[in-house]
Structure formats: structure tokens, C-alpha cells
Structure 1
Amino acid sequence: MAPDSRPIALAPPHRLYTFAAWAVAAIVVLGFAKTYYLKAVFGTPTLSPMLHLHGLVMSLWFGLFVVQTRLVAVRRLDLHRQLGMLGAFLAVAVLVIGTMTAINAARLGRSPGPPPLIFLVVPLGDMVAFGTLVGTGLWLRARGDYHKRLMLLSCVGILAAAIARIPLDAIAKAGPLAYFGLTDLAVIGCAIYDRRRTGRLHPAFLWGGLFVILSHWLRLALAGTGLWMSFATWVTR
């Protein structure tokens, strides 16, 4: 019998993005359920207008990411591009409001566990990583293979704040090692899945993934140092 010469079937290219979009949304809801999405059930303190605005903008961003991945999956690229303009404005709102909210929370002494000025390195670092990845992804929007991977990393790479708020003792005890470590595993998992599907490690996952991971460990090295504490004290005055 002649050997089977049929090509090996690959998983649909949109599967990674669809699954990741829903997984990211689920982690965000889980992390912020007690203090935002289901706060009426848990009876947590009333939120300020800024926190409500921050929650709304971030929810819209992750919701838009889910919608955009589905539009690509069903080949509605025309609508995907039209919504991309909304996404660009929403990304700016995420950056501005996210930065203001993080600084205000530290000023008021709020954090999911670590001292507020030390924890401030997490959300501010996330905003730097998010802005860099989204900005590069939008700049390379004509190169779809780069664009979709960078936009995925922009969402996966900022999960640390949500993971930090998941009500598990193991996460609370491990602190930033858990927030960043689990986020890094998600980034690596996306890259591995993509490599197995395509047969190569795409440069967007290589360099974008390294950027996210190194930003986490740089923040761990920086948090608590005199340099960081001076900056955090200054920015929260």
C-alpha cells in the first residue's frame, strides 16, 4: 500500500484566539467578581466614579477583543476593521484611565495584599506593556500575522492584576511571583500552541512574549527598592 500522502490537518488558525479571548475574559471576571461584577452579592464597599469608569472601560476592551476574534473567525474582516477604529480609541482610554486609577488606589492605600506603593509597580507596568503591544499591533495592522499575535499578547500580558484578586490562598501567599508567574505561563502557552500549529515560533510571540515576561521580572527586581519607592511616593502625592 502506498504511504498516505495527504497533508496533516492543522487546527483552525482562529482557535487559539477564540479560546484565549474567552479565557482572558473569564479570568478578568473571576478576579474582579467580588469587587466589581458581583459586588452587590458580596456586599463590598461602594466604588468611586473613577473605579466604575475604569471597570467599564476595561470590560469594554476585553469584550471587544472577544468580538474581534469571532469576526475574524467568521471572516467578517470588513466589520473587524471598522471596529478596529473604536478599539484604537478604547485602548487610549484604557491607558489613561488605568494609569489614573492605579495611582489613585495607591494614594488611598488600596491593594490586593502587598503594600500599596509596592503593588503600584504591577498596574503601572501593565499599562506600559499594554500600550507598547497595542501600539505596535496597530502600527502593524496591515501585517495580519503580527497584528493578531500582538493584540493577543496585549490582553494576556496584563492579567496579573486580575490574577492577584482571585480569592485563592496560594495566590495570596505567593504574591507577585504568582501573579506574574501564571501570566507568564499563559504567554508561553499561547506561543507553544501557535508553534505547534504553524511549525515555527513567530517573531511576534518571540519578541512580544519576551517583552512581557522580562517586564514582569524587571518589576519584581524594582519593586521595594529605594528608587521605586521614591517614584511611587512622588507620583501618589
Structure 2
Amino acid sequence: MAEAVMGARVRGDAARRFYVWMAATCLAVAVLGFMPTYFMPMAQGRLNAPPLIHIHGIVLFSWVAFFCVQTWLVAQGRVLAHRTWGMLGIGIVTAMVFVVTAIVSLRVTQASLPGQPANLPHDVKAFAWVSIGGLAFFLPVFIAAIANVRRPEAHKRLMLLGTISLLPAPIARWFLVLLAPPPDPNAPPYPAGLPQITPPPVVVTIGPSLVADLLLVVAILYDWRTRSRPHPVYLVGGALLLLIQLTAVPVSESAAWQAAAAAIGHIAG
């Protein structure tokens, strides 16, 4: 009996360490991902961005940092503190919904200003699906995690799945830095007095998404090794996440989404 209890305790400790490492990895990906396009330019005084962009960065980065701290609290056995601080997580996610929607609305409005290139409104509305589609996945996963707070095996996997779904954005920054074509010296100058917006094609988001999904593969393999089968959260949630990622191009180009994005743009006026 004592050996069984000791074995269960050892397995529990190993699982907690695994999730701490996974959370720390998510945090490292977020920091390193935004390093070349946000943190370094800001430290060097080269970042010229409106306040809403900084608020957006603070809110989304706060989630990854919060997730890391919450995972560490559980690993330390401080479950009561973990649950108490959980209310902050609800606040951060609520802020994410408003900030992401505000950013998308602002970009659609700016792209539709008179004088902007003719194809820009369509391209911006198409790329807006990347943000809204990601939010449409993350938010239900987070709600499901809260609903399963008394089922820790499902709760912690839902939180990890939701956080992984946010990582394509920082990973994509390195794709843009390393793979972006050089500026065309013969390109006509951008219309004066208008905000310059250059959304990448939606198809370029698929690569970073699949790279982020490797963390989910690691979690599935860990489940396979420790419990002989992956948890349904990873199977069902992972399949839905992959579906959203792989259908991003046709959905973003659809008339239904273009109309929905135009409606979101009206929020900013």
C-alpha cells in the first residue's frame, strides 16, 4: 500500500514538473517571438506604435506570464493561491476579447479610408480572421477550463491547449524576419497622410501554426507515455485547432467573413 501511494506521489510530482516546463516554454516562445519586432525596437526607441498596440501586447503577454505563474503555484502545492489568482485570469481574458476586437476594428477602418490601395480593405479583412478565429478558439477553451476547475486533469490540459493556440503570433514574427522578401525599390510610394498597413497573406500563418502545434504533440506524447492514451482534450481540441488553422485561407476569403469583418470595422467608426 505504501509503495502504491509513493508511486502515485512520484507520478504526480513528475506531471507537475512537466506542466511547469510546458508553461515556461510557452512563455519563452512569447518573449523570443516578439523580441525582433517589439521588445528590441522598443528598447532601442525605434518602435512607433499607437497606444492600443502597446495595450494589446501587454494584455496578451500578461496571459502567458499568468499561465506560467499559475502552473508554478500548483507545482508548489499552493492550490488555494492558484484558485484565488484565477479571478485575475478571467480579467485578462476579458481584456483580450475587447483589445483584439478593437485592434481588428481599427485596422479595418484604417484600410477603408479614402485613398488607400484598392485591394487593401479586402486583404486586411481577410487577415483579421487570423485574430478573430484564434480568439473564437481560445475563448471557448478557456470557458471550458473554468467549467472544469474541479476536474484538474481536464482543466490543466484545456489551459495548456488554449495557451498553445496563442503562440503562432510570436512564432510568425521570426518567419517574417527571416523569410520576408526585401523591399521593392521600384514600388510606388505609399499614399501620404494615410496609415501604412501591409497585412501578409493569410497562407503564411499556416507554417507558424504548425510549429506551435509541436508543443501539443509533445503533450500528447507525454500522455501516451504516462497514461497509455492521449486525453480527449488534446484529441478533440487539437483536431478543432488544426481545422481552424488549415481552413484559414478559404474562410478568410469567404463572402460571409468579409461581411462580418466589415461589421467589426464599424465598431471603430
TM range (shorter): 0.7 to 0.9
How much has 1:42 moved relative to structure 2? Answer: 5.2
Aligned counterpart, 1:230: 259
Q: Moved runs in structure 1, 4+ residues, more than 4 A?
A: 7-11
2:133 pairs with one of 105, 125, 129: 125
Give the C-alpha shift of residue 128 in structure 1.
0.8
Which residues of 2 match residues 100-139 of structure 1 at below 5 A? 100-109=102-111, 115-139=123-147
SS of equivalent residue, structure 2 residue 154: helix
The residue type paired with residue 152 of structure 2 is G
Q: Which amino acid aligns with 1:232?
A: A
Q: Within 5 Å, which residues of 2 pair with 1:14-163?
A: 14-41=16-43, 43-109=45-111, 115-163=123-171
The residue type paired with residue 138 of structure 1 is I
Higher relative contact order (CA 8 A, sep 6+): 2
The 5 Å alignment of 1:158-169 reads 158-166=166-174, 167-169=177-179
AA partner of residue 126 (structure 1):
G
The CA distance in 1 between the partners of 2:255 and 2:87, in whole Å, is: 41
Give the secondary-structure state (helix, strand or coil) at the position aligned to 2:247: helix
Contact preservation (8 Å) 1:104, 1:236:
yes
C-alpha contact 2:104 2:131 (8 A) present in aligned 1: yes
**Cα contact 2:141–2:158 (8 A) shared by 1:** yes
Look up the equivalent residue of 1:88 and give its one-letter code.
Answer: I
- TM-score normalised by L of structure 2: 0.75
Rounded to whole Å, the distance in 1 between the matches of 2:263 and 2:205 is: 23
Q: TM-score, normalised by structure 1?
A: 0.84
Structure 2 unaligned segments of length 5 or more: list them. 1-6, 112-121, 181-199
In structure 1, how many angstroms separate the alpha carbons of the residues matched to 2:105 and 2:242?
23
1:102 and 1:123 in contact (8 A); partners too: yes
Percent same amino acid among aligned pairs? Answer: 29
Secondary structure class of the residue paired with 1:75:
coil
Residues paired across the two proteins, number:
227
Partner of 2:231: 202
Distance 2:108 2:32 in 1: 22
1:116–1:225 distance in 2 versus 1, CA, 3 Å: same
CA distance in 2: counterparts of 1:177 and 1:58, whole angstroms: 20
**2:154/2:233 contact within 8 Å kept:** yes
